[in-house]
Chain A
């Protein structure tokens, strides 16, 4: 079974600075997807970024980028030019790509990192 580990329960960053959130995962599969979701105080889960394991290029979405190290099974999220609205819980998630039926369709989540943004 796949597992996802987020070892930083809380992080803090000053406005306009850069912060990196860590995520490691364990899997025996070669094809999969990885995601970062944001959960603000409203508790709505919002997709931030996704990475296909077969792609070597790291995904970027505006101020958000990832550092995907497949061999190390590491998937960190970098937030540049942090804004007050970035304050939230951030969850790393894994999805098997091998099949679209059965348990392969579920997302496996880490326990989250709470990000505080200070002035």
Chain B
């Protein structure tokens, strides 16, 4: 089955540590996205990538970094510079032929 996988589902880290969230898709989609979701808010875009080896900052990129070495993979690193990293993180992908984005199951990150 084609889809988007995110791992792990739950992630716990100590403050000051960097952590990398995985996102893999086998939909052959060109574009991939990372969103952050906080309680009572909609999703906010962190980073997105249209093609391999290229990515752009979204609305809340500070304290995050990404890479896009393969079409299928778009990992997100939450660095120690992110002031409030505890949140639910969603990865999405889309193809140029259609404009809707398809989402993975998400990763709940808790930093204490």
Q: Do A and B come from one complex?
A: yes
Contact at B105–A106, with CB atoms within 8 Å?
Answer: no
Are A33 and B99 closer than 8 Å at their CB atoms? Answer: yes
Interface segment among A14-22, A68-76, A80-88, A94-102: the answer is A94-102
Q: Quick check: B45 and A107 within 8 Å, CB to CB?
A: yes
Q: Is B1 positioned at the interface, with any CB of A under 8 Å from its CB? A: no
**A103 B42 Cβ-Cβ under 8 A:** no
Per-residue interface assignment for chain B, residues 27 to 70, with 1 indicating a CB less than 8 Å from any chain A CB and 0 otherwise: 00001010000001111110010100000101100000000000
Size class of the A contact interface (CB-based, 8 Å)? 20 to 34
Report the minimum CB–CB distance from B51 to chain A (whole Å): 10
- How many chain B residues have a CB neighbour from A under 8 Å? 26
Is the CB–CB distance between A112 and B103 below 8 Å? no
Q: With the chains together, A104 CA to B32 CA distance in Å?
A: 14
- From 65 to 112 in chain B, residues with beta carbon under 8 angstroms from any chain A beta carbon are 88, 90, 92, 94, 96, 99-106
- CB of A45 closer than 8 Å to a CB of B: yes
Residues of A at the B interface (CB closer than 8 Å) are 4, 33, 35, 37, 42-47, 50, 91, 93, 95, 97, 100-103, 105-107, 109-112
